[in-house]
Amino acid sequence: MNERRLLVLVLGALAATFVLGVIATVKLTEAHTARRPAGRQLITVDVPARVGDVQAGGTARHRLSATQVLHGFAASYLAYLDGGPGSALRYASITAASQATGGGRIPPAFRDGPLRITDASEQGSTGWSAQATVLASNRSESYPFTVQMLCEQDGWQIAQVVPVDLSIDDHTQPAVGVVVPAAGSSAARRFAVAYVNYRAAVTRSLPAMTSAARQAIAQGTDSLAQTRMPRERGVLESISYGPPSGGEFAATATVTVPGQRETFSFLMVLTRAGWVCGAFL
């Protein structure tokens, strides 16, 4: 009987120990589960845009927004229009760079102060493309141009450019009140009259000019090539000059012949032979 009671007590103790072990295991499991996240969470890190001398195709261009790429290109394009190198155009494709430089630079006579962006408007954009028109202005003129942008593997890029229309300078007078070398001024005055006399068939001798200017006359692309004038000698009515830039300056002359007045612009350049016409503007 005693042996039987002892067996019951031993079995009861073992059962209690098992139950306590199970309870402890369950609590430990619950505590571990409470500390573990229910699932993987995505962490979003805002990377600030970095603006620097990153050329097209650079490793950091994908961090630039379309607006930053547009302003970077516009600044370099305005510098080009004001006489800077075409190789410095930023974020431009080969096509866009060719289109921009193909439009030419603003003639020195019309660079009335540095160009600045005065307005920019968006015509339409998606997640992968955008189009904008930028208005650049100096103290006297405004020059709009349009760009088409694409988001490619390396980020936003200027894909195509409709460059500024420099024909507006054909109807603009150069800045007045500037001082040019006396020899250059005398040469410009002589050239203006001699050029009109040549186009009026008063003389067959070409005035002093560079080979590029002579080629323009031969091709019929000079200022008065398509102008019909009476066969009379011209008289210089007025002439004004643009700011000198190195060994060149622009001039706008008005020459009259009987019953007719012609106004045209040209570039004077300093050569070993003296001041001569370098180009028709």
Query: Helix %, strand %, coil % for the chain, to 5?
Result: 35, 25, 35
Residue 265 lies in a domain: yes
Least confident piece of the model among 24-28, 41-45, 114-118, 261-265: 41-45
Q: What is the pLDDT of residue 141?
A: 83
Q: What is the pLDDT of residue 31?
A: 39
C-alpha–C-alpha distance, residues 59 and 74, integer Å: 21
pLDDT tier, 236 (very low <50, low <70, confident <90, very high otherwise): very high
Residue 1 lies in a domain: no
Residue 85 and residue 156 in one domain: yes
Residue 263 lies in a domain: yes
- 237 — phi, psi (to 5°)? -90, -45
- Residue found by looking up tokens 């962006």 in the block: 117
Q: Which of 112, 140, 169 is the last residue in one of the domains?
A: 169
C-alpha–C-alpha distance, residues 32 and 144, integer Å: 67
Where is mean pLDDT largest: 42-51, 62-71, 92-101? 92-101
Structure tokens at 256: 């009259």
For residue 79, give the CATH number of its domain: 3.10.450.50
Residue 225 and residue 258 in one domain: yes
Which residue type sits at 222?
D
Q: Is the pLDDT confidence value at 48 over 70?
A: no
C-alpha–C-alpha distance, residues 258 and 245, integer Å: 35
The residues with which 147 forms a beta bridge, in sequence order, are 132, 161
- For residue 26, what are the CA distances in angstroms to 116, 185, 187, 222, 275? 73, 103, 105, 98, 102
Q: Which of 116, 138, 169 is the last residue in one of the domains?
A: 169
Mean pLDDT score of the chain? 77
Residue 104 and residue 186 in one domain: no
C-alpha–C-alpha distance, residues 278 and 281, integer Å: 10
Residue 155 and residue 79 in one domain: yes
Residue 137 lies in a domain: yes
pLDDT tier, 122 (very low <50, low <70, confident <90, very high otherwise): confident
Sequence-ordered list of residues with C-beta below 8 angstroms from that of 120, at least 6 positions apart, any chain:
70, 74, 132, 133, 134, 135
92: domain range? 61-169
Sequence-ordered list of residues with C-beta below 8 angstroms from that of 110, at least 6 positions apart, any chain:
140, 141, 169, 172, 174, 175, 242, 250
Residue 44 lies in a domain: no
Residues above pLDDT 70, as percent of the chain: 74
Q: What is the pLDDT of residue 120?
A: 87
* H or E element at residue 156: strand 155-162
> What mean pLDDT is predicted for residues 208-213?
92
Residue 161 and residue 194 in one domain: no
Choice between 203 and 48, residue whose per-residue pLDDT is larger: 203
> What mean pLDDT is predicted for residues 189-197?
96
**pTM: predicted TM-score of the whole model, two decimal places:** 0.44
Residue 105 and residue 153 in one domain: yes
Structure tokens at 71: 């302003």
Residue 196 and residue 152 in one domain: no
Q: Is the pLDDT confidence value at 231 over 90?
A: yes
> What mean pLDDT is predicted for residues 213-228?
89
DSSP 3-state assignment of 145? strand
Q: What is the pLDDT of residues 72-109, one digit of tens each?
A: 999 999 988 887 777 788 999 999 999 998 888 887 76
Residue 23 lies in a domain: no
Q: Is the pLDDT confidence value at 23 over 60?
A: no
For residue 234, give the CATH number of its domain: 3.10.450
Residue 36 lies in a domain: no
Residue 35 lies in a domain: no
Q: What is the pLDDT of residue 34?
A: 37
Residue 110 and residue 84 in one domain: yes
Residue 113 and residue 85 in one domain: yes
Residue 77 and residue 115 in one domain: yes
- Residue found by looking up tokens 């990153």 in the block: 54
pLDDT tier, 244 (very low <50, low <70, confident <90, very high otherwise): confident
Q: What is the pLDDT of residue 54?
A: 36
Q: What is the pLDDT of residues 247-271, one digit of tens each?
A: 888 888 999 999 999 988 899 999 9
Q: Which of 169, 186, 205 is the last residue in one of the domains?
A: 169
Residue 205 and residue 260 in one domain: yes
Q: What is the pLDDT of residues 160-171, one digit of tens each?
A: 999 998 875 555
